[in-house]
Amino acid sequence: MGLRINTNVSALNAQRQTRKTTNTLLKGFQQLASGLRINRAADDASGLAISERFRAEVRQLNAEASNLQYGVSFAQTADGALSAQQEGLQRVRELAVQAANGTLTDDQRAALNEEAQQIMAQIDATAQNTEFNGTNPLDGSQTNIPLGTEGGIEININESTTASLGLGGVDLTTQGGAANALGQVDNALNAVDQNRASLGAQQNRFERAISQREIAAQNSAEAESMIRDLDMAQGVMRQTQNQVRLQAGMAALAQANLQGENAARLLGS
């Protein structure tokens, strides 16, 4: 290869390689600082698009799991209120059995009926005052509540008031009324039992759905990490290699720049 003065091809080539290595080093520093292999679309356009889809899926799954947890809490709130109603109905049934005793006086039955009416008023108060995040589970205002998940999962709950339970005509002031009240209370207890059983089954369903979404979110996050995150060991190794290349390139550039001086020295001799 001859000596040239106007154009130092060797120096230009060394400069180009050194610039390329410097850019690679800068990119490597950015990756090491962020822990990400892909920091911008130019790093890996297709990889970025795929990882963004995984990231969106993870966020959706986490949001759905949160919505389902609201459903679990809603069911627990409603079940607690139904349990209180159930206890009250058991007491009304006990009072009806007592009132059916033919040896009691009218005043005694009136006292038993007064307690029964107070309990039924409390059953209605429980239905009206039980609230979860602004929603009354038992007053009949809402019986199907969507949870905002893929697949349209809903909470289904039945109204639980004295009217819906068929307790409007309970009267323990007479022996016959007490006997009729037994049948009414038994039907009401059966309705409350079914409502609680339904809520329990739905709660189990929601908890399984939460678990499924948590597993799916974990798998999607792992897939997104495989595409987007940086393998730190490989990143450090590549930076070390590039630093060695940069040092070698700088040395080659220095040597290439001596060609002009060599040509001038030759001409001077």
Residues 76, 190, single domain; the answer is: yes
State pLDDT tens for residues 59-85.
Answer: 999 999 999 999 999 999 999 999 999
- Do 217 and 253 belong together in one domain? no
| Residue 2 placed within a domain | no
Asked if 144 and 221 sit in the same domain, the reply is yes
Number of domains in the chain: 2
Whether residues 205 and 78 share a domain: the answer is yes
Q: What is the pLDDT of residues 12-57, one digit of tens each?
A: 777 777 787 777 777 777 778 778 888 888 888 898 899 999 999 9
Are 124 and 218 members of one domain? yes
Q: Establish if 162 belongs to a structural domain.
A: yes
- Please check whether residues 57 and 111 belong to one and the same domain: yes
Can you give the residue range of the structural domain that contains 186? Answer: 46-227
SS3 assignment for the chain: CCCCCCCCHHHHHHHHHHHHHHHHHHHHHHHHHHCECCCCHHHCHHHHHHHHHHHHHHHHHHHHHHHHHHHHHHHHHHHHHHHHHHHHHHHHHHHHHHHCCCCCCHHHHHHHHHHHHHHHHHHHHHHHHCCECCECCCCCCCCEEECCCCCCCEEECCCCCCCCCCCCCCCCCCHHHHHHHHHHHHHHHHHHHHHHHHHHHHHHHHHHHHHHHHHHHHHHHHHHHHHHECCHHHHHHHHHHHHHHHHHHHHHHHHHHHHHHHHHHHHHC
Q: What is the mean pLDDT of the chain?
A: 87
Mean pLDDT of 225-229: 87
CATH number for the domain harbouring residue 168: 1.20.1330.10
pLDDT in tens, 170-222: 999 999 999 999 999 999 999 999 999 999 999 999 999 999 999 999 999 99
